[in-house]
Amino acid sequence: MALFYMHGVPIGYVAILLALVASMGGFIFGYDTGQISDILLMNDFRLRFATCGTPGDVATCEFSTVRAGLIVSLLSIGTLVGALCGAPTADYLGRRYAMVVECGLFIIGVVIQVTATGVWQQFAVGRFVSGLAVGALSAAVPIYQAETAPYRIRGTLTATYQLFITFGILVAYCISIAARSVSGAGSWRIVVGIGIVWPCLLAFGILFMPESPRWLALRGRYAEARRSLARAHGIPKDQEDTEPFIVSEVDAIKANLEFEKDLKAGWIDCFRPANKTLYRTLLGMSLQSLQQLTGANYFFYYGATIFTSVGIEDSFITQIILGAVNFVCTFGGLYVMQRFGRRVPLIVGGVWQSMWLFVFAAAGTAKVPQENPNIGKLMIVSACMFIFGYAMTWAPGVWILIGETFATRTRAKQGALSTASNWLWNFLLAFFTPFIVSAIEFRYGFVFAACNLAGAIFVYFFLYESSNLTLEAVDQMYNDPSCKPWTSGTWVPPGYESRYDFKARVVENGNGTEEGKVEKVLGNGKTGSQTGVEEKVEHVVSE
C-alpha cells in the first residue's frame, strides 16, 4: 500500500527506507571526514605518530605540515581512485551488490588503521584503503537513490545522502570528545574502530532493498524493473503488471533506452558532444569541484586547529557546534531543494556563503584573533553562518544533481567522473591547506569567498533546472536546443502545462499490429525515431 500521495503519485514506505539505508554510505563518508580533525590533537596519537622534541613529552610533539597533510589527504586520494572504480563495479554487479563489496573494503581499511602502533605511514595507508571504499560509495549511492526514488520526491530522498554525511561528521565529533579522556591508544582507536559498525549496517540493510529499476531495464530485466518500481511506489505485487502508472513508467524507461541504444557507454564516450553528453560531463565535474571550493572542508578537516589558533580553549566543543549547525541545517536543505528546485538555492547559497567567508577572512586579517576575543567570536559566528548556507544549498544540491543529470547508459561513469573531481579537489585542499594557511593565514577565506561567487555565476549560465521531472524527461530537456539554463525552470515536454501534471502514458502505434517505433519528443516539437520495439511512447499532457 502507498504510504502517501505526492501530486497524485503514490509513494511507498520502501522508497523512504531505501533512501535512508543507502545514505549510510554518506554517514561512512562523514564519519571518516569528521574524525581526523580531532584525532590529530589527541595526546597518544601525537606521541606515536608526530615528531617529538623530547620523547614522551606530548608538549614537544608536533606534526610537520607534510605529515599532517598526508594523513588527512590520503583518504581523498583513495576516494578519487575509488570513485572511478565504483562506476564499472556498480554497472557490473548492480548498485546494491557494489555497495556490499565496498563496505567490506572499508572495513579492511579500518583494521589497518587501528593496528598501527608507531608507524604513521600505516595509519595513512589505512585511510587510503578506506578512501577507496568511500569514493566508490559516493559514486554509487546518489545514482542508486536517483534511479530508484519516485521522481516527485527524488530531490528530498537523494538529499538524505548529504544529511547522513553531516550526521556522520557530528557523530564523529561527539565520539571524539568522549574518547579523548581514554588513556593510551584507546582514545583514537575507539574513534576509528567504531567505524566498522556503519558499513555493516549498510551492507546488511541494502540487501533487503530493491535494485535500481533503470539498471535492471538496461539489462532487459523489465519484470524485475516493474517490481522495483512497484515496491518504491507502494503498489502490491499482484497489481504491478496492471497498474497504469508502473506500466507507463517502465515503458518510458524502455523507450528512452531504445533511443539511447546507439549511445556507447565507455569512458571516452562520456566526452562525446552528441546528446550533450560532453556538456553534462563537464557540468557535473565543475559542480563537484566548486562544491569543494566552497571551503566547507577547510572547517571540517582543520576546524579544531583553526579554532585553537583563534584562541578558543576547547576547540573540540567548537567543532561539535559547527557539526550540529551543519546537521540541523541540512534538514532545511531537504525542504529547500524540494521546494525551490536546484538552480535558485545554489545561486543564493553561493552569494550567501561568499559574504560570510569574506567576513571571516576580513576579521581574521584585521586583528590578531588570539589577542582579541571578540574577533575570535565573530569568526566562529561567520563560520556557522557559512555552514548554515552551505548545508541548505550546495551540500545537498550537488549530490542530487549528480544522480539526475546524466543519460541512463553513461550515468554511472559520468557520475564517477564528477565525483572523482570532487575528491581531487578534496585532496588538493586537504594537503595544501596547511601550507597555504602558514603563508597567508586567514586571508585564505578570501579565496573561498571568490570561489563561492564564481559558483553562483556558473550555475546561472550553465545548470538546467531538473526538479519534478523524470530522469528520462531531464535527458529530453538537455537535448532541447530551444531550452536555455536560465529558462529551464519553466520547461516541460511539448503539450504539458506544468511539471506537476507531468507523467507518461503509452499510446498505441498506428493500427496496433505492425512493428512499432519509439518517438523521442524533443523540446522543439520535433521527433527522432528508431524502430524495433512494439509500442510507440510519447509524452502527453495529463490534466
pLDDT digits (tens, 9 = 90+) for 194-236: 999 999 999 999 999 999 999 999 888 999 999 999 999 888 8
Res. 522: pLDDT tops 50: no
Look up cell 544549498; give the residue: 393
303: pLDDT confidence band, cut at 50, 70 and 90? low
173: pLDDT confidence band, cut at 50, 70 and 90? confident
Residue 137 grid cell: 560509495
Residue 487 grid cell: 529558462
Residue 140 · residue 88 · CB < 8 Å: no
Report the C-alpha gap between 19 and 235 in whole angstroms: 18
**Rg of the chain taking only CA atoms, in angstroms:** 24
Q: Please give the pLDDT value at position 508.
A: 31
CA angle 165, 398, 289 (to 5 degrees): 95
DSSP 351-392: HHHHHHHHHHHHHHHHS-GGG-HHHHHHHHHHHHHHHHHHHH
Report the C-alpha gap between 129 and 125 in whole angstroms: 6
Between 454 and 363, the more confident residue is: 454
Average pLDDT over residues 156-171: 90
* Tens of pLDDT, residues 330-373: 999 999 998 899 999 999 999 999 999 999 999 888 887 777 77
Distances (CA, A) of 493 to 99, 389, 487, 530: 35, 33, 14, 19
Report the C-alpha gap between 234 and 153 in whole angstroms: 14
Q: Please give the pLDDT value at position 306.
A: 62
Give the burial string for 187-196 (b: 16+ CB within 10 Å, else e): bbbbbbebbe
Distances (CA, A) of 107 to 129, 196, 202: 9, 6, 12
Q: Please give the pLDDT value at position 435.
A: 83
Residue 110 grid cell: 579500518
Res. 533: pLDDT tops 60: no
Q: What is the pTM of this model?
A: 0.80
Which stretch, 152-166, 280-294, 501-515, has highest mean pLDDT?
Answer: 280-294
Q: Please give the pLDDT value at position 301.
A: 61
Average pLDDT over residues 156-173: 89
Res. 516: pLDDT tops 70: no
* Tens of pLDDT, residues 396-422: 999 999 989 998 888 989 999 999 999
Contacts of 261 by beta carbon, 8 Å cutoff, 6+ apart: 530
* Tens of pLDDT, residues 244-291: 778 888 888 888 888 777 666 788 989 999 889 999 999 999 999 999
Distances (CA, A) of 52 to 37, 42, 48, 296, 305: 19, 14, 9, 31, 18
Residue 188 · residue 179 · CB < 8 Å: yes
Q: Please give the pLDDT value at position 307.
A: 64
Domains, in order of start, for the chain: 4-213+265-462 (1.20.1250.20)
Per DSSP, 405 falls in state: S
Report the C-alpha gap between 59 and 391 in whole angstroms: 36
